[in-house]
Amino acid sequence: MLRLNKRFNNARAEFTPYGFTCEVWTPSRMPRPDRHNEIELNLLETGSLTYLFGGHHVTIEAGKLAVFWAAIPHQIVAFDGDQPYFVVTLPLNEFLAAELEMDVVNRILCGELLTESCTDACDPLKFRQWEKELRACVPAYNHAVRLEAQARLLRFSQGLSQRTDVNRPRPVLSRADQIACYIAQHYRERLSSQSIAAATRLHPNYAMNVFRRAFGTTMTTFITLHRIWHAQRLLITTDESILVISLDSGFQSLSRFNEAFKTTCGCTPREYRKAHRTKESLVTFNQDR
């Protein structure tokens, strides 16, 4: 099968999800910033990429794994060399479930683009294998790549936690990004526009307006999406009941969870679980108790 390297599609709607991917991209300048709610990993074998990231220029050098939260506006404005590079996108809820060092998680969610000081010589081989196996669309391969990507992030996190970056610059997030960051860290709790505004030191009306202008949606919808993504992961990877999953995801009632899930996903949580469990992982569920 002929593989076509990807380039940024200027026509894609902002905040359209990529999902879990490992793809080969051709370096090119982006006519506008991109935003999506996955954690993004970049790996170059040669050359470099320079992003305008959250209002600052950041350069990613070859051989150093770079990790950032792609909800922060990011735009490639320069590059050195024309060799393809790897891009991995990992849904935020899977990133948060990976149990990385909390300092590293907070730095990423607060708008830092992090890179390793030491390289892993095996990375190009790993990323090549991930890209090939995800292209094969085999559920067992998909599951294996997800586990390996999380394991790679665990090593990345451990390496960073042992560094002392006392002079690292503090990122300056926009008001909307501050709100998005707070929601990403607290969506499993009881949230309201008033509590979010208070946490980010904004007036509730101002917070709602600035967020809608930046993200094209309401804070309530954004919170619900985070909770749905969290529930999707649990539905596929655990045998917990629908009720337990709904509460663990931040919903206050099973009826509200079922309603929001069907509106967002087009099916019930039970139907979603049955459709996405691989044959190897099917078990007898004790749901809706």
pLDDT at 171: 63
Q: Read off the pLDDT of each residue in 225-249 and give the average, rounded to a whole number.
A: 90
Residue 254 has pLDDT above 90, yes or no: yes
pLDDT at 229: 83
Same-domain status, 82 and 115: yes
- With a CB cutoff of 8 Å and minimum separation 6, the contacts of 91 are 17, 19, 20, 37, 38, 39, 229, 233
Dist CA 60 CA 76 (whole Å) = 10
HSE of 79 in the Cβ direction (CA atoms, 13 Å)? 19
Which of these, 276, 246, 248, 247, lies nearest to 258 by C-alpha position? 246
pLDDT at 162: 62
Answer whether 269's CB lies under 8 Å from 254's CB. no
Same-domain status, 217 and 256: yes
Q: Give the angle 82-37-26 at the CA atoms, nearest 5°.
A: 10
The answer as to whether 166 is a domain residue is: no
At 285, the pLDDT band (50, 70, 90 cuts) reads very low
pLDDT at 126: 96
The answer as to whether 11 is a domain residue is: no
Tally of structural domains, the chain = 2
153-189 pLDDT per residue, tens? 999 998 886 655 544 555 677 898 889 889 988 999 9
Domain endpoint, select from 132, 161, 190 = 161
Residue 281 has pLDDT above 70, yes or no: no
pLDDT at 26: 95
pLDDT at 3: 63
pLDDT at 166: 45
Q: Read off the pLDDT of each residue in 268-276 and give the average, rounded to a whole number.
A: 89
Same-domain status, 200 and 262: yes
Which of these, 35, 39, 8, lies nearest to 21 by C-alpha position? 39
- Return the minimum-mean-pLDDT range out of 54-63, 84-93, 169-178, 277-286: 277-286
Domain endpoint, select from 161, 195, 213 = 161
pLDDT at 289: 31
At 1, the pLDDT band (50, 70, 90 cuts) reads very low
55-72 pLDDT per residue, tens? 788 999 999 999 999 988
Intra-chain end-to-end CA distance of the chain, in Å: 47
pLDDT at 127: 97
Residue 51 has pLDDT above 60, yes or no: yes
Same-domain status, 66 and 181: no
The answer as to whether 14 is a domain residue is: no
The answer as to whether 167 is a domain residue is: no
Q: Read off the pLDDT of each residue in 140-160 and give the average, rounded to a whole number.
A: 92
SS3 string of the chain?
A: CCCCCECCCCCCCCCCCCCCEEEEECCCCCCCCECCCEEEEEECCCCEEEEEECCEEEEEECCCCEEEECCCCEEEEEEECCCCEEEEEEEHHHHHCCCCCHHHHHHHHCCCCEECCCCCCCHHHHHHHHHHHHHCCCHHHHHHHHHHHHHHHHHHHHHHHCCCCCCCCCCCCCHHHHHHHHHHHHCCCCCCHHHHHHHCCCCHHHHHHHHHHHHCCCHHHHHHHHHHHHHHHHHHHCCCCHHHHHHHCCCCCHHHHHHHHHHHHCCCHHHHHHHHCCHHHCCCCCCCC
Residue 191 has pLDDT above 80, yes or no: yes
pLDDT at 37: 87
Residue 288 has pLDDT above 70, yes or no: no
Residue appearing with tokens 């600035």: 210
User: What rounded mean pLDDT belongs to the chain?
Assistant: 87
Same-domain status, 141 and 233: no
Domain endpoint, select from 119, 135, 161 = 161
Residue 245 sits in a domain whose CATH number is 1.10.10.60
Dist CA 22 CA 128 (whole Å) = 9
Q: Read off the pLDDT of each residue in 39-43 and give the average, rounded to a whole number.
A: 96
pLDDT at 90: 95
Q: Read off the pLDDT of each residue in 12-38 and give the average, rounded to a whole number.
A: 91
Domain that holds residue 31: 21-161
